[in-house]
């Protein structure tokens, strides 16, 4: 089964069984990495098939069992990931994903449209970045309970704490999140129009127009992981952000800026001769971009090339 899971490759197309996609979506929200999420699901199924067949038959709700096991593996991964990221070169940004439908598969049969909105929001780049500030236990509790609606009694089995302690962890996580929701995000259509205008202004090299599309305090985060040129610290301010993008396009005349959704929000992909060299995730409030994430680490760009696009649809 272990080899089958890897060879199914997690090409992440819709032929992957819904149960496995649901676990992938769960693990991705926990870890912010598709590769790590794939490893978690692979290990979860390995443990399932390592049990004697009679024990498996006695489990009345296999998906619930798989979900709890995946959650425990993610908790261990989050603890070790913190240590690894201390040695990461520059900023670490969650891996961008392109096909939101794959990542909003549900666990335990969630059908309520309100829950679907929560699932969509929870995979946005802005939300994943906020989740990075949570403790491992807070993140696991928040994702399992607030996003996937598992009861605290089951969440407690995953994190090894009492249901009351899990409730407190959820309260703490919600407090961290409250500041992010203080100002409303731009509507999807307004956000998309803004990205279109940003693309046109970049192509024309219109510095003044670009300035008007960015919040004066816009923050640009870049992630090269030591494998591609990127700033070690965030770039703050509209002028600096505009110079960054115009400078990139001037240095590489063959660069093509393409509009594309990133983690379910309007964003862009930068390609050279059809090969993706960067993915741009954005956050907008009103009629300006307030935060931009520029991912250039090649390890995080798999699945974004045009040549590989079919596998993701």
| Six-digit token string for 299 | 């390890």
Q: Give me the domains of the chain, ranges plus CATH numbers.
A: 2-182 (no CATH), 188-312 (3.10.450.50)
Q: What is the mean pLDDT of residues 26-50?
A: 95
Strand bridging mode 255-262 / 265-272 = antiparallel
Query: What pLDDT does 98 receive?
Result: 87
Q: What is the DSSP letter of 234?
A: -
- pLDDT digit string (tens) for 128-141? 999 999 999 999 99
* β-bridge partners, 310: none
Query: Between these two residues, 280 and 248, which has the higher pLDDT value?
Result: 280
pLDDT band at 117 (very low <50, low <70, confident <90, very high): very low
Query: What pLDDT does 241 receive?
Result: 97
Query: What pLDDT does 305 receive?
Result: 76
Query: What pLDDT does 128 receive?
Result: 95
Say which residues have a Cβ less than 8 Å from residue 226's Cβ, sequence separation at least 6.
88, 89, 90
Residue 297: φ, ψ to 5°: -65, 115
Question: Where do runs of H (alpha helix) occur along 86-132?
Answer: 100-103, 113-122, 125-132
- pLDDT digit string (tens) for 186-213? 899 999 999 999 999 999 999 999 999 9
Query: What pLDDT does 37 receive?
Result: 94
Say which residues have a Cβ less than 8 Å from residue 200's Cβ, sequence separation at least 6.
none
Nearest to 296 by CA among 219, 239, 241, 221: 221
pTM as predicted: 0.86
- Contact at 8 Å (CB) between 66 and 19? yes
CA 65 to chain centre: 24
Question: Where do runs of H (alpha helix) occur along 145-301?
Answer: 152-159, 163-178, 188-204, 207-212, 238-251
- Contact at 8 Å (CB) between 195 and 266? yes
Query: What pLDDT does 137 receive?
Result: 96
pLDDT band at 101 (very low <50, low <70, confident <90, very high): low
Return the CA Rg of the chain. 20
Strand bridging mode 255-262 / 235-236 = unpaired
């Amino acid at each position: 089964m272990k080899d089958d899971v890897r060879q199914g490759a997690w090409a992440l197309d819709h032929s992957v069984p819904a149960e496995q996609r649901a676990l992938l979506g769960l693990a991705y929200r926990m870890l912010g990495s598709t590769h790590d999420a794939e490893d978690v699901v692979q290990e979860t199924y390995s443990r399932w098939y390592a049990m004697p067949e009679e024990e498996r038959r006695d489990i009345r709700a296999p998906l619930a069992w798989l979900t709890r096991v995946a959650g425990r593996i993610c908790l261990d991964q989050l603890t070790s990931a913190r240590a690894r990221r201390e040695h990461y070169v520059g900023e670490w940004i969650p891996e961008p994903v392109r096909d939101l439908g794959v990542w909003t598969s549900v666990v335990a049969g969630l059908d309520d449209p309100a829950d679907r909105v929560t699932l969509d929001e929870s995979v946005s780049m802005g939300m994943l970045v906020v989740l990075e500030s949570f403790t491992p236990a807070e993140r696991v509790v928040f994702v399992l309970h607030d996003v996937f609606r598992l009861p605290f009694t089951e969440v407690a089995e995953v994190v090894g704490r009492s249901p009351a302690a899990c409730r407190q962890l959820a309260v703490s996580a919600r407090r961290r999140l409250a500041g992010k929701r203080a100002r409303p995000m731009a509507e999807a259509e307004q956000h998309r129009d803004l990205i279109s205008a940003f693309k046109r202004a970049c192509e024309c090299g219109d510095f003044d127009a670009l300035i008007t599309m960015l919040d004066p305090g816009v923050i640009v985060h870049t992630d090269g992981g030591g494998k591609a040129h990127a700033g070690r610290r965030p770039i703050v301010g509209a002028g600096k952000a505009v110079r960054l993008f115009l400078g990139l396009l001037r240095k590489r005349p063959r660069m093509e800026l393409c509009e594309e959704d990133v983690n379910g929000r309007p964003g862009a992909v930068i390609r050279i001769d059809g090969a993706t060299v960067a993915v741009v995730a954005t956050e907008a409030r009103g009629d300006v971009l307030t935060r931009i994430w520029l991912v250039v680490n090649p390890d995080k760009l798999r699945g974004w090339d045009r040549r590989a696009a079919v596998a993701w649809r």
